[in-house]
Amino acid sequence: MPYRTETDMSRRTYLKLTGGASAVGLTGVAGCLGDDSTTITPGTAPGFPPFEMQEDGELVGFDVDLLEAVVGETDYELGEWATFEFDSLIPALTQNEEIDVIAAAMTITEDRQETIAFSDPYWESDQAILVREGGDFQPSSWEDFEGVRVGAQSGTTGADQVSANLVDPGIISEDDYSSYDSYVFAVEDLANENVDAVVIDLPVAETFAANRDVEVAFIEETGEQFGFGIRQGESEFQSALNDGIATVRDDGTYEEITNTWFGQE
């Protein structure tokens, strides 16, 4: 389904009407979140509509609106957004401490939890296999992929699915797998027939299918859960985020943001 409709409002207008906190100027020090620092710096990876993308030079999307609404229910303030390639987000959080929270449709996994902590889940997703609309390649299972070219964004669970189901079993070779910094580039390569399929989170696949000449061939039910990523040991911040998520779910804000970006069912 499209991530915008004729009745959709801009992010700034939406936040003004719903009372969500918009990004404010940076007044704290990123990476030094503590008792005396209430301003947090959020980081994301644009190119993953409708969760986060650049639109007319502005960072917008479901994750952007949701984090701003969640933080608006806490004693913290949100600083200016920082953008990175997806697989650079965790190092930016933990090693360089350029950001304090990741809002990038990041799946909560055991591997990631060895390095970072997460808020409570705020979204559940499966993986989708995206192909050219009306194209010759219309797979119904992983076994149909022999000899075809497949793409995914590096560092994502989509890339994990390609490795686990296609590369490791030898259904496709490493040479037939293309890794991308952004799914926008992956879908462009799919449309241009440089790859035959892209493995991607289902809601993002549906957004691309609504706006490009691509379609979902089949769904791999993974039951992934997205969470906001934070540094380990920041329990007060984690609790504040969890309370904020619960509040926006209970007061209807979460549903309004969901309808804004995914449309009403």
Task: Round to the nearest angstrom and report the end-to-end CA distance of the chain.
Answer: 10
Query: Is position 3 within any domain?
Result: no
Q: How confident is the model over 61-71, as a mean pLDDT?
A: 98
Mean pLDDT of the residues in the chain: 88
The pLDDT of residue 40 is 96
155, 158, 159, 164 alpha-carbon torsion, rounded to 10°: 130
Residue 104 structural domain: 11-122+227-262
Q: Provide the 8-state DSSP code for 26.
A: -
Q: What is the CATH number of the domain that holds 77?
A: 3.40.190.10
> 264: Cβ–Cβ under 8 A, 6 or more apart, which residues?
none
Q: Which two tokens stand for residue 164?
A: 């686990």
At 51, the pLDDT band (50, 70, 90 cuts) reads very high
Same domain, 37 and 117: yes
Q: Tell me the per-residue pLDDT of 140-173, one tens digit each, with 9 for 90 and over.
A: 999 999 999 999 999 999 999 999 999 999 999 9
Work out whether the CA dihedral 211, 228, 264, 57 comes out positive or negative: negative
Same domain, 152 and 117: no
Q: Tell me the per-residue pLDDT of 100-134, one tens digit each, with 9 for 90 and over.
A: 999 999 999 999 999 999 999 999 999 999 999 99
pTM here? 0.82
Q: Please state the domain count of the chain.
A: 2
